[in-house]
Amino acid sequence: MPAQAPETWLSRIRPKAPGPVPTATLWCVLATALLSALLLGDGLGLNLLVVAIPATLAAYVAARAAGRRIRPWSLVWGIGGFALLAVPALRDAGWPTFLALVTALGLGSLALHGSREWRGILLGPLGLFESLGPGLAWGWRGLRERADGPRGRLGPALRTTAVAVGLLVVFGALFAGADAAFADLLGSLMPDLDSVADGPWHFLLFLIGLLGALAAAHTAAAPLRWDLLRARPGRPRGRVEWALPLIVLNLLFAAFNAVQLAVLFGGYGKVLSETGLSYAQYARQGFWQLLWATVLTLVVIGLALRWAPRGGARDRTLVRAVLGTLCLLTLIVVASALRRMDLYVDAYGLTRLRISVAAMELWLGVVIVLIMAAGVLGARRLPLPRAVAVSAAAGVLAFGLLSPDALVAERNVQRYERTGKIDVGYLDGLSADAVPALDRLPEPLRSCALKDIDDTLKERAAPWYATSRGERRARELLARHGVSTTGYQCVPERNGIQDEYTEYDPYDPYGP
């Protein structure tokens, strides 16, 4: 008997080869590829949802043929993925769209794999990419079986189509040369040169849709079992060895938070008078440090849980008390960081990066709350990996639907109405989502802020399915009120309009 190959982690999680590909799956894959080639070349919008429908049906049919049932969590991930795909149809800004698409891919992998542990949630998207090659081979085998089988009709259909096309080309060319009117008729039916030039791009989109749908269907029929990967548990430590470093850390957090609470309830005036800092300088000082402190605290909690004592009820009480205190103190750090950012935004305005890092800090606070809830309720009543994944997806969806570019413009316009200060040089680089807020500015600030957006929209011509709601609304406002910079120059002098930021670093959340 030949010796069996040693089991590896990949062979342990890899399932058996799926059965024959269902015919309905092949038709749905073909529909996905054709819709990708026809709709996605003009931009992103409602067309993403249209393309996702047949791809989802292909995966559903393949899963049912493999004997898999739809579970409640699969519906949660699937509905969440479709909701995220609606962001490009509503918002014009590219960066929330990118976040939404990446998150939708992650939720799609969870719907297909059905993972519940950290490893499956984090590594699930790799299973989709791993299915690209096997999925293509699986689909090709299905086509050959249907073409070569006793009842196969695909082969004769392809041969008949090829002969018909050849006859049309040959005799059509002869008739076109014989009659000018017939040649004009054929010319009106043939694609124009622009369409021919875009042929490689549409063919690439066809391949992407084909491979993506086949990979999703193959994963649904034979998903990688990520949850079979088991991490070796950490060695439990003694109570004093485990708890003493964390208690010291809690004391440090408590001392820092005492200062923050004194500032909050005692007012900033006393602290600023003692330190000699302005509001903006005080707010600017330490936000990144507080953000990293929050991230590192989550790492510390994860390692502490790995090496926590597990001797009985007294050990569980100790772990919950120490880590619960650390979580509560970390929430005060999160609130302090957000308050600092709010002060700085009041002083210098809101930017894309500032709203992004503030949203990240807020989500980290939600994760800490979920950790506390899981410690109280238990892992069975609150599965922490899934809860964190849901919170991340909900955060990205809310971030996209709230339109960060519109919030940036709205906050800066409100600040201008209050202080008379505005950075037009930054605002004119926002997307069409910012137009409703910028449209309220007085001239010439309004036209300076909207000029680049207006020029971009005039150069862009996309069909309805590749146009967002934010872009359509912006076009209506710009067409109604117009944009004119005649008689003054917006850059670099702006005809007396002084930019607040002389040097803007897009990677610095505080600038300038």
pLDDT value for 473: 92
426, two tokens: 């930054």
pLDDT digits (tens, 9 = 90+) for 371-423: 999 888 887 788 888 999 999 999 999 999 998 999 999 999 988 888 888 88
Whole-model pTM: value is 0.81
Question: What gap in Å lies between CA 474 and CA 510, rounded to an integer?
Answer: 29
3-state secondary structure of 248: helix
Give the 3-state secondary structure percentages of the chain, helix then strand then coil, rounded to 5.
75, 0, 25
Give the pLDDT band of residue 357 (cuts 50, 70, 90): confident
**pLDDT reading at 267 higher than 60:** no
* Nearest by Cα to 70 from 62, 85, 130: 62
| Per-chain mean pLDDT for the chain | 81
**pLDDT reading at 22 higher than 50:** yes
pLDDT digits (tens, 9 = 90+) for 276-299: 666 666 666 667 777 888 888 888
**pLDDT reading at 191 higher than 80:** no
pLDDT value for 377: 86
Let me know: does 260 contact 285? Beta carbons within 8 Å: no
pLDDT digits (tens, 9 = 90+) for 135-172: 899 888 888 877 665 555 555 665 676 677 777 777 77
Let me know: does 231 contact 119? Beta carbons within 8 Å: yes
46, two tokens: 């409602």
pLDDT value for 354: 87
DSSP characters over 426-442: HHTTS-GGGHHHHTTSP
Question: What gap in Å lies between CA 293 and CA 109, rounded to an integer?
Answer: 31
Let me know: does 338 contact 358? Beta carbons within 8 Å: yes
